[in-house]
Structure 1
Amino acid sequence: MSSARTWFITGASRGLGYAFAEAALAGGERVVAAARNVDPLAELADKYPDDLVRLALDVSDRHAVFEAVEQAAAAFGRLDVVVNNAGGLLYGMVEEATEEQIRDHLDVNFFGAVWVAQAVIPHLRAQGSGRILQVTSMGTGGGMASVGFYGAGKAALDSISEALAMEVAQFGIKVTVVQMGGYATGLFTAGTTATTPDPAYEALRAQMAEMWGDDVGPDPATAAPVIMELAGMPNPPRRLIVGSRSFDIVQEMDQARAEQYRAWESLSRMAPG
């Protein structure tokens, strides 16, 4: 019996998802790679014809997610590592975003991951084992102008994943919130939906663009070894920051928040609750 694990990866056609799929295949694993457009996976399919199955999937479609997971489980007979990676970016100020843009964004970044989790849990529970890696962001600790909806969706996924981890631990299923740093994933290009700019925010928009700069971040492939090691740990962490620079930034953000709480401690303690 093969000891190779079966990975189910969403958003696998580019960026981090592609890098994780490639690393798993190179490590002798089997991969079911799901994406809206699976054409970019053709080269991997040619290289690993027996170990890669491509599935066209829009994770915002709950019915389609459940069908895809059934196909994924049948492809190699089981599921071992589920990577909830599919996502996009809604770029713009809160006031500018339309209802359709907001709902479409959260349908992918939050609800899509929930549908995948709901669909895979029965399979993992029946096996008595499995890993779910919830790809979020190092920026979920607080909102930031122009990318607030992205942070909100990832923060919601952070929170629901903590609850999920508590619920499924009894079944031998381990959940890790993977807080990714900034990588050259194409999120700000191919993965972006932009609002119609309101002139009232022109100065702030320019300020934010200057802060982002032109650095697109390191190659996603440099993050893949972390994911491979994480997936193999017998007792993985509940959450993990991926990226050395991002680790430092998160620590600074947490420290600033703690200092703010302390600065207003007397006001907080005026209430007995």
Structure 2
Amino acid sequence: MSARTWFITGVNSGLGRMMTEQLLERGERVAGTARKMDTLVALKKKYGEQFKLQSLDLTDTPAIRSVVNAAFAHFGRIDVVVNNAGYGLIGAAEELRDEQIIHQINTNVIGSIQVVRAALPHLRAQGGGRIMQLSSMGGQWAMPGLSLYHASKWAVEGFFESTILDIAPFDIQVTIVEPGSARTEFAASSAALSPALDAYAETPAGAIRRLVEPGFRKQPGDPARMAQAMIASVDQNPAPKRLVLGTDAYNNIKGALTERLAALEAQKDIAFSTDFAA
């Protein structure tokens, strides 16, 4: 199979960086974006024209359109669009500042949606392609202290549940990636903390705040293996609708879905009783 061309947001760290390095090493082309460019100088120098690098803040919608258009113009065709950039906001709902809530939604939700909207005309024109959206095990399961992060991931998954149906006639396929906890920079540079309220110090939300802090390195997920699995999924046809990565992701999502299904079944009689009489 000939080398593919990828568009990946957030290539300066985490899974985006892992994917980019693996793809470039195997001879594929990458159009990458990042807010912080300084850590990418050596990678750009090593791979030259194989790696197109652009600065992008996902809260800037006009810039998203410009950067996506430039990437397609530069390479002529992009086979896979990877919506990877995003971050976690940690804190109980009451602790969060208004501006933190707005920034989380603007980055994780609206930014991801606008990347897809900018790419779709190009993907349609070229006759198809793949979209890979980074969600999380937190897109189907929730824990305390991460209400806005979960809200952003559930929102993105809902967006794609519908959009997948819209774009299927154009041979554009989507995979929603749901990683568990991995040893990336999520707990350091990729996470933001709300101010702490004493009232929550000894609650589950407070415990999560203490757990997710710089230096915590006991996550089970290997980001290099996760990146490999994400890349390999593009060879599957049809594309897997969801890609669950990590034992914690599998176990937590399975538990949440099992509990949700049991609760639904328990309400079957109530649900059926509210229709008009036959």
Q: Common fold, TM-score beyond 0.5?
A: yes
Return the offset for 1:180. 1.5
Identify the match of residue 260 of structure 2 among 257, 261, 265: 257
Partner of 2:63: 64
After superposition, the Cα gap between the structure-2 partners of 1:254 and 1:127, relative to the gap in structure 1 and judged at 3 Å, is: same
Q: Which amino acid aligns with 2:187?
A: F
Establish whether residue 80 from structure 1 lines up as the match of residue 79 from structure 2.
Answer: yes
Return the offset for 1:78. 1.3
**RMSD of aligned Cα (Å):** 2.0
DSSP 3-state at the match of 2:135: strand
Q: Which amino acid aligns with 1:156?
A: A
After superposition, the Cα gap between the structure-2 partners of 1:233 and 1:15, relative to the gap in structure 1 and judged at 3 Å, is: same
Return the offset for 1:219. 3.3
- In structure 1, how many angstroms separate the alpha carbons of the residues matched to 2:44 and 2:180? 28
Partner of 1:222: 225
Return the offset for 1:265. 4.5
Partner of 1:151: 150
DSSP 3-state at the match of 2:48: coil
Question: Stretches of 4+ moved more than 6 A in 1?
Answer: 210-213
Return the offset for 1:201. 1.0
Q: Which amino acid aligns with 1:122?
A: P
Establish whether residue 174 from structure 1 lines up as the match of residue 156 from structure 2.
Answer: no
User: Per-residue displacement from partner, 1:206-249 (whole Å, max 9, x unpaired)?
Assistant: 43357767523433111111111111222111122122342122
User: Per-residue displacement from partner, 1:72-103 (whole Å, max 9, x unpaired)?
Assistant: 11221111100001101111011111221101
After superposition, the Cα gap between the structure-2 partners of 1:120 and 1:24, relative to the gap in structure 1 and judged at 3 Å, is: same
After superposition, the Cα gap between the structure-2 partners of 1:65 and 1:218, relative to the gap in structure 1 and judged at 3 Å, is: same
User: Per-residue displacement from partner, 1:88-136 (whole Å, max 9, x unpaired)?
Assistant: 1111011111221101011110000011001000110000011000110
DSSP 3-state at the match of 1:146: coil
Return the offset for 1:266. 4.8
Identify the match of residue 242 of structure 1 among 241, 245, 248: 245
- In structure 1, how many angstroms separate the alpha carbons of the residues matched to 2:130 and 2:2? 16
- In structure 2, how many angstroms separate the alpha carbons of the residues matched to 1:165 and 1:43? 37
Partner of 1:15: 14
User: Per-residue displacement from partner, 1:155-193 (whole Å, max 9, x unpaired)?
Assistant: 100010111111111111111111121112211211122
TM-score by length of 1: 0.92
User: Per-residue displacement from partner, 1:31-83 (whole Å, max 9, x unpaired)?
Assistant: 01101012212232232123111111001110000000111112211111000
Q: Which amino acid aligns with 1:120?
A: A
After superposition, the Cα gap between the structure-2 partners of 1:210 and 1:272, relative to the gap in structure 1 and judged at 3 Å, is: farther
Gaps of 5+ in 1: none
Q: Which amino acid aligns with 1:36?
A: R
More divergent stretch after superposition (48-57 vs 256-265): 256-265
Partner of 1:208: 208
- In structure 2, how many angstroms separate the alpha carbons of the residues matched to 1:177 and 1:190? 23
- In structure 1, how many angstroms separate the alpha carbons of the residues matched to 2:141 and 2:255? 12
Identify the match of residue 231 of structure 1 among 231, 234, 244: 234
User: Are the counterparts in 2 of residues 12 and 21 from structure 1 also a CA contact under 8 Å?
Assistant: yes
DSSP 3-state at the match of 1:161: helix
Q: Which amino acid aligns with 1:253?
A: A
Return the offset for 1:143. 3.3
TM-score by length of 2: 0.91
- In structure 1, how many angstroms separate the alpha carbons of the residues matched to 2:6 and 2:217? 33
Return the offset for 1:259. 2.5
More divergent stretch after superposition (211-220 vs 22-31): 211-220
More divergent stretch after superposition (100-109 vs 194-203): 194-203
